[in-house]
């Protein structure tokens, strides 16, 4: 736990799904994690309660991460407890199913804003908060950024733009000791009761590793990218899908 103890991480979208799994993985290593959420107070309280047995400390911070004023406010709160921020994970997501030939412009704009606004508007305060030491920025992407997934055009375009944003930021922030990378996967197994059970079973059967990706699988890769040993990885999109994307 030594290398992680006392480090501070902010996870946008950290009270559910993949973001919560990332928070759990960082907390297990002794990191102090701030879980950002937009609206659901009940889910936030439940998330923090479920994490209180881990070595690090979990704190929920409410705020719409797409609002330009939110990230500076959250970082101000964090820096009242910590000298600097070590890790920022962008796991906030928005998904509105639609066909490419029948788009809903307003909903598409929402998906693009959710994907891009946190780092477009927040990069300056993040750089300031990470000054004085190595920093890690990791975004959660999807194979829909590079492959055609039915009715996924809006989120797919948003994730593709996010991956481009990661590359540009990585090139400019590398001299400051800040790495910027992304983790991508295919369909995630969110547990029993998930819709499209037949599709999930078919995808699991096609996955060389024998099952679908879980949020914990993604969280493990995020923590690898946040480790000191990952300092030479810049601007990469790491695919963690059990080998599913290798299939023709």
**Tens of pLDDT along 78-98?**
999 999 999 999 999 999 999
Q: How far apart are CA 207 and CA 212, in angstroms?
A: 7
Whether residue 3 is contained in a domain is answered as no
Domain hosting 184: range is: 8-246
pLDDT band at 190 (very low <50, low <70, confident <90, very high): confident
Q: How far apart are CA 22 and CA 24, in angstroms?
A: 5
45 belongs to the catalytic site? no
Whether residue 2 is contained in a domain is answered as no
Whether residue 18 is contained in a domain is answered as yes
pLDDT of residue 3: 83
Q: Catalytic residue, from 45, 152, 168, 190: name it.
A: 152
The residues with which 149 forms a beta bridge, in sequence order, are: none
Mean pLDDT value across residues 137-154: 97
Domains held by the chain: number: 1
User: Distance from CA of residue 202 to its chain's centroid?
Assistant: 26
pTM above 0.75, yes or no: yes
Whether residue 25 is contained in a domain is answered as yes
152 belongs to the catalytic site? yes
pLDDT band at 2 (very low <50, low <70, confident <90, very high): low
Question: What CATH number should be reported for the domain holding residue 37?
Answer: 3.40.50.720
The percentage of residues in the chain with a pLDDT greater than 70, rounded to a whole number, is 98
pLDDT of residue 192: 74
Q: Catalytic residue, from 37, 45, 128, 159: name it.
A: 159
Whether residue 1 is contained in a domain is answered as no
Single out the residue of 9, 2, 38, 3 nearest to residue 135, CA to CA. 9
Whether residue 102 is contained in a domain is answered as yes
DSSP assignment string, the chain: -TTTTT-EEEEETTTSHHHHHHHHHHHHTT-EEEEEESS-HHHHHHHHHHHTTSSS-EEEEE--TTSTTHHHHHHHHHHTTSSS--EEEE-------BBTTB--HHHHHHHHHHHHHHHHHHHHHHHHHTTTS-EEEEEE--GGGTS--TTBHHHHHHHHHHHHHHHHHHHHHGGGTEEEEEEE-SSB---TT-S-HHHHHHHHHH-TTSS-B-HHHHHHHHHHHHSGGGTT--S-EEE-STTGGG--
């Amino acid at each position: 736990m030594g290398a992680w103890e006392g480090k501070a991480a902010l996870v946008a979208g950290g009270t559910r799904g993949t973001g919560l799994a990332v928070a759990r993985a960082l907390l297990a290593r002794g990191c102090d994690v701030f879980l950002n959420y937009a609206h659901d107070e009940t889910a936030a309280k439940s998330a923090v309660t479920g994490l209180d047995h881990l070595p690090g400390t979990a704190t929920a911070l409410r705020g719409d991460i797409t609002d330009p004023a939110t990230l500076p406010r959250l970082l101000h709160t964090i820096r009242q407890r910590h000298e600097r921020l070590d890790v920022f994970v962008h796991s906030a997501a928005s998904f509105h199913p639609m066909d490419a030939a029948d788009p809903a412009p307003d909903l598409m704009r929402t998906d693009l804003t959710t994907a891009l606004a946190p780092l477009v508007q927040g990069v300056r305060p993040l750089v300031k908060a990470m000054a004085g030491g190595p920093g890690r920025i990791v975004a959660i992407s999807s194979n829909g950024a590079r492959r055609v997934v039915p009715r996924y055009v809006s989120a797919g375009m948003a994730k593709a733009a996010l991956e481009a944003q990661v590359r540009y930021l990585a090139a400019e922030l590398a001299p400051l000791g800040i790495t910027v990378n992304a983790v991508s996967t295919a369909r995630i197994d969110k547990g029993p009761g998930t819709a499209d059970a037949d599709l999930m079973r078919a995808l699991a059967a096609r996955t060389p590793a024998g099952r679908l990706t879980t949020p914990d699988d993604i969280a493990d890769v995020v923590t690898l990218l946040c480790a000191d040993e990952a300092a030479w990885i810049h601007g990469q999109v790491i695919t963690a899908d059990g080998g599913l994307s290798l299939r023709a």
